[in-house]
Homo-oligomer: A and B are copies of this chain.
Amino acid sequence: MNQLYHVREFAQLAGVTVRALHHYDRLGLLKPSRTQAGYRLYYLRDLERLEQIVALKFLGIPLKQIRMMFHRGTNGMSESLRMQRRVLEEKRQLLDSAIRAIEEAEKATAPGNRPDSAILKKIIEVIEMQDNMDWSKKYYSEEAQARIEERKNLWSPENQERWTKEWTDLFRDVEAVLGEDPASAKAQALAARWKKLVEGFTGGDPQITAGLGKMYQDRPNWPANMQQRMQPFSNKKVWEFIQKALAAGKATN
């Protein structure tokens, strides 16, 4: 009844390797008795313990922590599991976004069966997008996030390139007239171009506009790569000039 098992037998019984049993032994997770010669001997009741180890390991809990859990008895087990579930859910988020990145890149490059170099570019683009979306979330209300999600279909690579060019041009043009009157016709034309570009992103939605404002106010806390990308548009005089021009425009209307 109280059958004894050698490592090999016990390992097969439980579906693990001999080396794993050695490992658990050394870590103090499952210490079998020994023969005179030092051979490991497992009892059937050790199987229960081993199954627990395997199960917790399957949940992604590190062996050291499993040992601690056994050590402290079963108290706190459900708490540990709650925490582990959160850990796993976060991992799943990352996995999902990696998978989505590949999927979207495949979708975007498949139609033309473009050269392989294009897909890597697309991957980077998609990942950066996800990054930005994830980070900029905190500035927008739930509703604004949903609206942005809807408007995302406008963000084709072509459009993005066009917008970047238009913003760059506009900035250059504004910098050229910084000395002039913000209420002048020239300045008003520039302000109109600015407004149109902003609306190209917000779609006129006030919630999105509000979020965008919060994001702009918080620019000291932007991550480094974001600041880097925004550097061409960092000239504060330009922003102030446009502020005044927009105000002047409103005043005369």
Residue of B nearest to A105 (CB): B81
**What B residues does A106 contact at CB under 8 A?**
78, 81-82, 85
Residue of B nearest to A55 (CB): B124
Assess the A99–B109 pair: CB atoms within 8 A.
Answer: no
Chain B CB within 8 A of A174 CB: no
Assess the A78–B119 pair: CB atoms within 8 A.
Answer: yes
Assess the B15–A223 pair: CB atoms within 8 A.
Answer: yes
Chain B CB within 8 A of A60 CB: yes
Smallest CB separation, A149 vs chain B (Å): 22
**CB-CB contacts below 8 Å: A104-138 with B:** 105-106, 109, 115-117, 119-120, 123-124, 127
**What B residues does A225 contact at CB under 8 A?**
13-15
**CA–CA, A55 to B225, complex, Å?**
14
- Among A86-94, A150-158, A186-194, A197-205, the stretch that binds chain B is A86-94
Q: Which of A77, A82, A106 has the most CB of B within 10 A?
A: A77
**CA–CA, A95 to B87, complex, Å?**
10
Chain B CB within 8 A of A76 CB: yes
**What B residues does A92 contact at CB under 8 A?**
92, 95-96, 99
Assess the A74–B224 pair: CB atoms within 8 A.
Answer: no
Q: State whether A95 and B88 are in contact (beta carbons under 8 Å apart), knowing that A13-B225, A119-B78 are contacts in the complex.
A: yes
Chain B CB within 8 A of A2 CB: no
Assess the B88–A224 pair: CB atoms within 8 A.
Answer: no
A contact residues vs B (CB 8 Å cutoff): 12-15, 51-52, 55-56, 58-60, 74-78, 81-82, 84-85, 88-89, 91-92, 95-96, 98-99, 101-103, 105-106, 109, 115-117, 119-120, 123-124, 127, 223-225, 228
